[in-house]
Structure 1
Amino acid sequence: MLVVATVALAYSLMQIRDNSSWVRHTNDVLRLIAGIERAVLQAESGERGYLLTRVGEYRAAYETAKSALPHAIDDLAKIVGDSAEQQQNLAAVRSSIEMRLAQLQRVVELAQDDPQTSLDILEQARVDLLTQRIERGLSTMTKYEQAVLKERQRNFERSNFAAAAVATCLVILALASGCVGAFLIERQRTMARQQASDQRLRELQAELLHVARLGTMGEMSAALAHELNQPLAAIANYLKGSRRLLQDSTDKSAERIRTALDKAAEQALRAGEVIQRLRQFVSRGETEKTNERLDRIVDDALALALVVAKDRAVEVSVNLDPTAERVLVDKVQIQQLLLNLIRNALEAMEHQEPRELEISSRRGEDGMLEVVVADNGPGIDPQLADKLFLPFMTTKTSGMGVGLSLCRTIVTAHGGDIQAEPRPGGGTVFRFTIPSADPL
């Protein structure tokens, strides 16, 4: 009996070793797939950045990613060489990547001398959907590898269960319960290591994808900010010139027109300031703090946000702490923060009757001022509460998922904190803290 029990135990340990080898193999495949996808995104980001700005740094990023792709594909081909289906999937992905790299190289070469042809190639790339084909191909390989691992694990569990049952019975008959206990402990440790490894891999993949997309968003934001500042300045100048032309007019509506032009010029300048601050924020992550009145910041944000709610009544209640009127903040960023929260509240209350919006503030004990934005909408799904401020997290069909993430970034840059909680009686309450400029 002891001999049979020893054989059964040895067989189970061999199965555990094989299963660990399968897990490592799958982890290596998924790591290489994530690296290929990241390199494709970096190549496209570098190519578009170079096309927009002609900065050599973007071209260098493109060249680095392009040179890394063939090696990564060859490494992946070696690992999946034992699977005919994965080889076929990789061949399709390799073909799409080669075509996409050829398009990118052609665009980079023509960017200086023939920009129109490079733009035509970009348009053809959008029609060909090569990037989507690459992503689908890599996703297919990932799903296949995960499915194979699950099937191997099911087989492992079935065979391991049978061996464990035989070993347990024999050990009980031979009064060798200690061997069974050691076997079970080792099995549990192996499964725990496997689960931890899988979890770390999933977290790494999600982090890499978010970093790649956030990096692309930052580059595009800086480029767009640079391009939009000039037309906005031109708009403001034209509006001021138009006002001067009306200065001596005796027409009855001239004063109203001058007032409208003043407001339009003011908003054009404010838009330029917002874009400039966004560019600085993306490129350096710094804020320029000044002593400002909180009530004026709230009034400006409300005036802008309520423009979209003119067709439906909104009951707005503003209750600010009179003992803490001034704050030490970047005015434009806090206006944008309030504007995002107010717009989210209005959208949440779209089908609510009546619609109630409340903005209040109170002084804290740590030199900070707490600002509250509350609505009576349907509230937030409890399952999404912990992920609410993550990048690209959204419940809107047309949303990008960067609004609340940007709000948290702005509050953190001011040394504060932001959180969301259910409102008693229905709705949502957003609370954030910013530095107070009034003495305690």
Structure 2
Amino acid sequence: MQSIQQHINLRLGLALLLVYILFGLGASYSFRLLTEHYIGTRLEHDAQGLLVALTHPAGDGDLRLRPGRVSPIYDRVFSGHYYQVESGQEVLRSRSLWDQALRLPALAVGETRVLRQTGPEEQLLLVRVRRYIKQDRDLLLAVAEDLTPIRDNVRRLQVIYGLLGLAVLIGLLGYQRRALRQGFAPVAHTCRELERLQQGELARLGEAVPRELHPLVQQINRLLEVLQGRLARSRNALGNLAHALKTPLTRLQQELDHLPQDADPQTRERLQQQLDQIRALMERELRRARLAGRSDSAARLALRPVFDGLTGVVRQVYADKALRIECDVPATLALQADEQDLMELFGNLLDNACKWARGRVRVRAVQQDGRLRIRIEDDGPGVEPERRAHLHERGVRADEQGVAGHGLGLAIAADVVELYGGSMRFGESAELGGFRVEVEFPQA
């Protein structure tokens, strides 16, 4: 999905650009109107001066202007300032027009019109035309001025405005980007807290956040509390159930032990098997309830201390076998998991290896291709290939004689590995010749 910050940057940037363009167009249009209004006022003043300077307009006399009453600029050829007076068939033009003439519209007396037209040398002219009556003579008086310098000034102003406006626009966009980054800083802080929560460094998110984020952070914290509460209630409920079942199971076992000697041995054996199966099932479910499973809020645990503690325990348990336990686990290897789950997993695997080993048990852990691999092998009798695929099932054992237990160790280990999205494979140890268990976890 598109970033919210990028979305806001894009929308605000487009809005600023649109305002910048509209303001530029408006400024150019206003400047042109002001200049044309100013020129129009000057043309009106010049027209009044020309009207006053006209002499002998009455009768059939020629139109003339009093000497010295007209600006010299009208005498310079193509100066950009022109006038033209028409009275009937008589036309009086400024010397600046040379041999060209202005195209004047027909107007009623007292009517004024301001128009644009192309003049000498392709000049853009602003022409003011008005029809007068002076001393009973009909006069059509036009005064014009070249707009080219004004147009060039407008274009120059537009270029200057464009450059300055572009610099201001870039500055505003930079300020907007920085302001948005500062505004989203609490979001980034919350994301970092989520990462710390995922690494197990925090138990809940800090709620010192802006009003917009506060409801979200509160809901996340409530969700964490609900999940932790459900896990605790589930474990407590299973524990209570197991505790409640212990008394009836104990009584049943006592009844079975006090059966008459002449009771059917097959019935006694069948009842004993059912009781053992119930106990094994209850034990397994209790252990499953203690498993926290894969959680983003679990801490990263170093594996070496876990195996050091477990090897110390199994050495004491199997002290009579004088086992040689080799532990090759680098101190840098760690796994994001619940400590109790790891103790349950590797404790069962080590206990199983020590149970069947003749004299040696080896533990190796490596990180390879982004995955964590732990191998536990022994020099015991091993397991036939056809039986290995069923070892993770509840109650299935490699050997039904000689070693006590209900066949739950590997099944519980398989449950833990499954909870963490890993895999567990069984095989034969190439070096020790006994049983080999290889557990693999995705580091992510």
Higher alpha-carbon Rg = 2
Q: Larger relative contact order (C-alpha < 8 A, sep ≥ 6)?
A: 1
Same fold by TM-score, threshold 0.5 exceeded? no
> TM-score, length-normalised on structure 1?
0.37
Q: Say which structure is richer in helix.
A: 1
